[in-house]
Structure 1
């Protein structure tokens, strides 16, 4: 059986204030074409369909049109859940016109987790779609005050789903969670409302042959090859500039073993970081990509961003390389170090902010100032 796993569309999102509607239209087209080209039996969308609970109408229309294309142009089943950015009620509305024998769309949490049952020449495949829910909703749903963490929520959902499995069925779980060990991006929202532990151990999914995850935006397997994030189809921040975006094409054999093939997305606009002298960058080939510029010029450039946008109209950020210094992190358990002399601290600070070495007159001013401070402390 072939599955196409994607997630975290975040329809309605912007990139630094720039609309992504055109970019989303392109990736939705690519998903439809991948379903058709690969003879996919089931399309999985693992949450965060929209970027917020009340998305713009343009995003709703865009997604409705996408689902209509999947329904009319392909024979694929669909399993889709709400993520932490979605309104569960809105996702449930998408199921009104769905073919219940082929589509499983879950927005709100439920104590009854009936799977979508599909079949191939090797038997039955059961897909359990477990929508994201906060702890308070899960406590009410499962009538248990012991649910205190996202892991507790998923453990209850998985147990409910396991109780509905046909004997001998190969099992696929669709969930939206932060599994321990996953690699994060800056654009992901915490799964807890007031802090606390948001991670879920991979063992929560024991028994599943494939776990289709949403929430983390980088494609990756966590804990085991069959527990996987497809990642988001678009980069939503410059920290993802080095992260290739893809859908996961999953092929499951008779024993439930899976192979994974990443199908790269071809974005209309990429997120890129460019580094160099301002004059050199102005000679680059024009591009509509989202650009973060790191200038290596020694002196500030007048109207630097304005002039760069003549070449890169979607340039979003401009910083100078000299301001990039990350804070130095010291080991708490490292060996003791001698206290630095105050004059050395001042000299090091001035060097760090890019000033030239101190002249003899400057040295005299520093020493005199420190002397006055010491006398003041002694007097007090």
Structure 2
């Protein structure tokens, strides 16, 4: 069984005020090309199709045209879920008239998580599509008032999905979550409303042969080789400058072990950070990339951004390195800015006192301890 896994399209998003419609079209075309050339049995989009619950009409049309091409030009099935940026009802509405043998589109939660069943020469593959939902919606859906964290939501979804697995089927889970121990970026919105523990343990996906994740924008594994974020096709912040974006081709063998190949995206415009003296940057080769400029001039220059945009029309941020040297974040500032995420406060504290934050072995332990503290606070 061959799977093409992508996520976090964020159609309709802008980059520091710059429209990304053409950039999105470029990566959508590359997904179609990969579908046609690699001939996967199923295309998975693991949430955040749109950047907001009410996307612009141009983004909706762009996605509709993309799905039409997948349906008409390929034989691939389509599995996709709502992410935390999406409207679950909007995504769910796309499933009303679809062929249930070829598509599984999940928006709102449902108490019965029935999979899409596909077959190859080795037998059935069950694909469970678990859309993102906040805790209050999960408590109502599953009639369980103990659901208090994102991990509880996913556990309830997986318990429901597990009841519908055919005997002997290989199992693929599609989810939109923050798994402990992964590298984040500035473009991801927190999955908790205010406070609480956002991270989930990779152990919640026990029994799955492949887990296709969305939410984290950098492509990476999450605790095991078969639990994977495809990452976003585009960079949405300068902290991702230089990162290679990709989609995943996954082959499931007869025993369910996944062989994974990444297919790099080739962006229309890259996000780059240029550092140097203004005069040197003005004499460099022109570029249409999305640019952040860090000037190393010791004194302010007159209209630097206006002059730079003659060479770099998509320059959208400018700082001076001398200003960066004067910024020294204190621990109190860190706590104030990240008070909504206790696990980040702990990581930043460790970064201050020992030079590195939480590593992959420490994150699950800290998340578990915070979870226990939260339960004690709730019970008090």
Q: Give TM-score scaled by structure 2 length.
A: 0.86
Could you tell me which residue of structure 1 aligns to residue 199 of structure 2?
A: 199
Give the deviation of 1:334 after TM superposition.
6.7
CA displacement 1:251-281 (0-9 Å, x = unmatched): 1111000111110101101100001111111
| Count of aligned pairs | 335
Give the deviation of 1:97 after TM superposition.
3.0
Could you tell me which residue of structure 1 aligns to residue 289 of structure 2?
A: 289
Q: What SS does the corresponding residue of 1:194 show, helix, strand or coil? A: coil
CA displacement 1:67-121 (0-9 Å, x = unmatched): 0000000000111000000001100121133211010000010110110000111
Tell whether 2:328 aligns with 1:327.
Answer: yes
Question: Within 2, Cα distance between the matches of 1:2 and 1:279?
Answer: 52
Question: Within 2, Cα distance between the matches of 1:334 and 1:177?
Answer: 29
Give the deviation of 1:299 after TM superposition.
1.3
Once the two structures are superposed, the pairs formed by residues 300-379 of structure 1 within 5 Å of their partners are 300-325=300-325, 327=328
CA displacement 1:114-140 (0-9 Å, x = unmatched): 100001111110000000000000000
Question: Within 2, Cα distance between the matches of 1:284 and 1:5?
Answer: 38
Could you tell me which residue of structure 2 aligns to residue 359 of structure 1?
A: none
Could you tell me which residue of structure 2 aligns to residue 361 of structure 1?
A: none
Could you tell me which residue of structure 1 aligns to residue 127 of structure 2?
A: 127
Tell whether 2:169 aligns with 1:169.
Answer: yes
Give the deviation of 1:231 after TM superposition.
0.4
Could you tell me which residue of structure 2 aligns to residue 98 of structure 1?
A: 98
Question: Within 2, Cα distance between the matches of 1:279 and 1:203?
Answer: 54
Could you tell me which residue of structure 2 aligns to residue 89 of structure 1?
A: 89
Q: What SS does the corresponding residue of 1:159 show, helix, strand or coil? A: helix
Residues 293-302 or 70-79, more deviating: 293-302
Q: Which runs of 5+ in 2 are unaligned?
A: 332-348, 355-380
Once the two structures are superposed, the pairs formed by residues 148-159 of structure 1 within 5 Å of their partners are 148-159=148-159
Could you tell me which residue of structure 2 aligns to residue 279 of structure 1?
A: 279
Could you tell me which residue of structure 1 aligns to residue 359 of structure 2?
A: none
Could you tell me which residue of structure 1 aligns to residue 266 of structure 2?
A: 266
Could you tell me which residue of structure 1 aligns to residue 338 of structure 2?
A: none
Question: Within 2, Cα distance between the matches of 1:276 and 1:96?
Answer: 55
Could you tell me which residue of structure 1 aligns to residue 366 of structure 2?
A: none
Once the two structures are superposed, the pairs formed by residues 184-263 of structure 1 within 5 Å of their partners are 184-263=184-263
Q: Give TM-score scaled by structure 1 length.
A: 0.86
Question: Within 2, Cα distance between the matches of 1:16 and 1:156?
Answer: 38
Question: Within 2, Cα distance between the matches of 1:319 and 1:111?
Answer: 51
Q: What SS does the corresponding residue of 2:111 show, helix, strand or coil? A: coil
Give the deviation of 1:242 after TM superposition.
2.5
Q: Which runs of 5+ in 1 are unaligned?
A: 336-380
Give the deviation of 1:329 after TM superposition.
6.8
Could you tell me which residue of structure 2 aligns to residue 66 of structure 1?
A: 66
Could you tell me which residue of structure 1 aligns to residue 35 of structure 2?
A: 35
CA displacement 1:258-310 (0-9 Å, x = unmatched): 11111010110110000111111111111111000011112111110000000
